[in-house]
Each structure stands twice: as structure tokens, then as C-alpha cells.
């Protein structure tokens, strides 16, 4: 499944980096502690977080995440949006919390 297919099925709101929406989604990871995510998220992860800053984009790139989904309508900083556009890191938004979104992603995978 691609990020684009996942986003369409879950009605996610696109925020940035949509040039990477053909990334393959393999798994899901939920967490907000950046150093923890960097060492544990797997390649192809849909990363569920409330961290909408430039450091989150860097972690998503290092961990080779398929995309970031900001849960609970967490805001995306302008600097992070610009970096995501430059690096084609897809970022989406949802009003669901991390647990609710994890369940929905798991149902699709």
C-alpha cells in the first residue's frame, strides 16, 4: 500500500511533502520522543506523533519512515513544512488520537 492510498482510505488531511506519497507503507509506529523513534521506527513506518517540528522531519528521514501523521490535529511548524517539501516527507493530519489511528492503520495493513 502506498502513502497516497492509505491517506485516501483514512481521509487524512495533507499538510506537506506530498511528492513522497508513493512511498510504500509497511508498518506503523506511534511515539513522540524523537530519539526513541529514531532508534525504533522501522523503514516504511507510518509515524503517528504530535511532534510537528523540523526535528520530526529529520527523524522521519533518518528512520526512512513512509510518512508522518500528526494526531489530534497537532500543528505543523512552517519550518517543518518547508523541510518536508524539500525532502519529500509526506505529512498528514487527523483529529484521531494515536491509538485510534493505529487501529485504523493496522486494519488496512
Q: What is the pLDDT of residue 18?
A: 87
Q: What is the pLDDT of residue 91?
A: 98
Residues contacting residue 73 through CB under 8 Å, at least 6 positions apart: 93, 94, 95
* CB-CB contact of 45 with 29 (8 Å): yes
Nearest Cα neighbor of 101 from 30, 45, 22 is: 30
Please give the backbone phi and psi of residue 29, each rounded to the nearest 5 degrees, phi first: -140, 135
pLDDT digits (tens, 9 = 90+) for 71-109: 999 999 999 999 999 999 999 999 999 999 999 999 999
Q: Is 18 helix (H, G, I), strand (E, B) or coil?
A: helix
DSSP for 50-86 reads: S--SHHHHHHHHHTT-SEEEEGGG----HHHHHHHHH
The 8-class DSSP code of residue 32 comes to -
* CB-CB contact of 41 with 62 (8 Å): no
How does the average pLDDT of the chain come out, rounded?
Answer: 96
For the chain, list the domains and their CATH numbers. 3-108 (3.40.1390.20)
pLDDT digits (tens, 9 = 90+) for 11-36: 999 999 988 989 999 999 999 999 99
Average pLDDT of span 47-58 = 97
Average pLDDT of span 28-52 = 95
Q: What is the pLDDT of residue 69?
A: 98
Amino acid at each position: 500500500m502506498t502513502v497516497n492510498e492509505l491517506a485516501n482510505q483514512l481521509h487524512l488531511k495533507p499538510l506537506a511533502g506530498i511528492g513522497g506519497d508513493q512511498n510504500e507503507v509497511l508498518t506503523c509506529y506511534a511515539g513522540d520522543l524523537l530519539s526513541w523513534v529514531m532508534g525504533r521506527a522501522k523503514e516504511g513506518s507510518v509515524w503517528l506523533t504530535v511532534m510537528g517540528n523540523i526535528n520530526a522531519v529529520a527523524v522521519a528521514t533518518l528512520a526512512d519512515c513512509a510518512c508522518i501523521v500528526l494526531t489530534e490535529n497537532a500543528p505543523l511548524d512552517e519550518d517543518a513544512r518547508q523541510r518536508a517539501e524539500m525532502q519529500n516527507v509526506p505529512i498528514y493530519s487527523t483529529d484521531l488520537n494515536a491509538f485510534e489511528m493505529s487501529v485504523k492503520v493496522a486494519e488496512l495493513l
